[in-house]
Structure formats: structure tokens, C-alpha cells
Amino acid sequence: GAVVSQHPSRVICKSGTSVKIECRSLDFQATTMFWYRQFPKKSLMLMATSNEGSKATYEQGVEKDKFLINHASLTLSTLTVTSAHPEDSSFYICSARDHGGTSGRASYEQYFGPGTRLTVT
């Protein structure tokens, strides 16, 4: 149990286009999901916290108009990179917090998706 999926796993897009990344909790409900960005050989940097039914909370320095986050259901959060540029190329990882209501598991557990590699040409 406790599986988080991300789609797509890899995406290549042209500069100026938008790309959407999906993060799904497959066997639990997640009121909160997190989006991280990881550059090669670097650590994970929190971009934003996504809360179901409300606006996402962005970390300082993250452009909310560029990285649109929608968390419309308890099992799905999406990250849309708008007007992508080569500097947006990165590895994007989501995690989902199991709020414990459906699974009975501890609510502090976070489960990570497998990541999405975005390349902007």
C-alpha cells in the first residue's frame, strides 16, 4: 500500500509551451501533497504545498504564475509548468501525506512519487 504515482515519468517540451504533471495517491487519501524540485546531484527543494480544495502555498522564490498547482480531489494534485524555458528543466517529485482517515496509518507519513524528468528544448 501507500503508493504514489506520477505521470508522465519523462516529458520533453518546446520552449514556450506548457506541461502538466500529475501526482496521484493510489490507495489512500491525501489532503496535502508537496511538490519538490531536484537538480542533478542536488537535494530536493520544496516548491509548494498543495492542499485539497484550497490554494497552494508556495515557497519563497517560486513563481506561482509559472508553476500552477491544482489539488481538486483527495487523490490528485497537478503541477503545470507554464511557458516553459530551458532553465525549468529539472526532476520534479511529488509526495503525498496520508491523513490516516482511510488507511489507519500514522498521519505523519509522506509517500513519494517516482518523479518526472522535464526537459525543455
Q: How far is CA 119 from CA 30, 31, 80, 107, in A?
A: 28, 29, 14, 34
Nearer to other proteins, 16 or 114 (CB): 114
Minimal distance in Å, beta carbon 71 to other proteins?
A: 14
CB 109 within 8 A of CB 98: yes
Minimal distance in Å, beta carbon 117 to other proteins?
A: 8
Nearer to other proteins, 14 or 108 (CB): 108
Residues in contact with other proteins by the rule CB under 8 A:
32, 34, 38, 42-46, 49, 91, 93, 95, 97, 108-110, 112, 114-115
Nearer to other proteins, 51 or 70 (CB): 51
Minimal distance in Å, beta carbon 79 to other proteins?
A: 15
Minimal distance in Å, beta carbon 61 to other proteins?
A: 13
